[in-house]
Amino acid sequence: MSEHPQTYTKPLPSLQGLSGAFYGWCARGELRFQRCSACARWRHVPRELCAHCGSFEWTWERSSGRGKVFSWTEVVRALHPDFGDETPYAPVIVEMQEGVRMLSRVLDCPPDALRIDLPLEVQFVAVHESLSLPLFRRVAR
């Protein structure tokens, strides 16, 4: 994904509410997740309520930005026409060091090079003046 910000035409995530707050940190080059103030568990995707203890108290805490491949699938026929020129590609579930899992993609990595537990590090890719997507790169162990 090397599109120039002005030429990026794919669907964009919502920038409203908690999603907007998450991507606001990404625009500053910081990957942050919610962490429950009562039980200290990390969570993603952003939501108001802790699924573990029910607390509404939480803070945004900075992630290490490091994780590993938990799972992936290979898309050979795009479900949205804007992704048709990128097939085959692999949506990847990344398990972060903090324990949360997030859906993303690994840059410069063909699907057949993916492996379970492959070490990854976040890299923000600006696709719009106010939006950077948290994508990943392979890193040495």
Q: Count residues binding Zn ion (CB under 5 A).
A: 7
Beta carbon of residue 53, minimum distance to Zn ion (angstroms, whole number): 3
- Residue 1 as a binder of Zn ion (CB under 5 A): the answer is no
Residue 90 near residue 104 (C-beta atoms within 8 A) = no
Cα dist. 2→32, 58, 104 in Å? 23, 35, 15
Residue 11 near residue 3 (C-beta atoms within 8 A) = no
Interface of this chain with Zn ion, residues 24 to 43, rule: CB under 5 A: 36, 38-39
Interface of this chain with Zn ion, residues 45 to 84, rule: CB under 5 A: 50, 52-53, 55
Instruction: Give the DSSP letter of residue 106.
Output: B
- Residue 10 as a binder of Zn ion (CB under 5 A): the answer is no
Residues of this chain that bind Zn ion (CB under 5 A)? 36, 38-39, 50, 52-53, 55
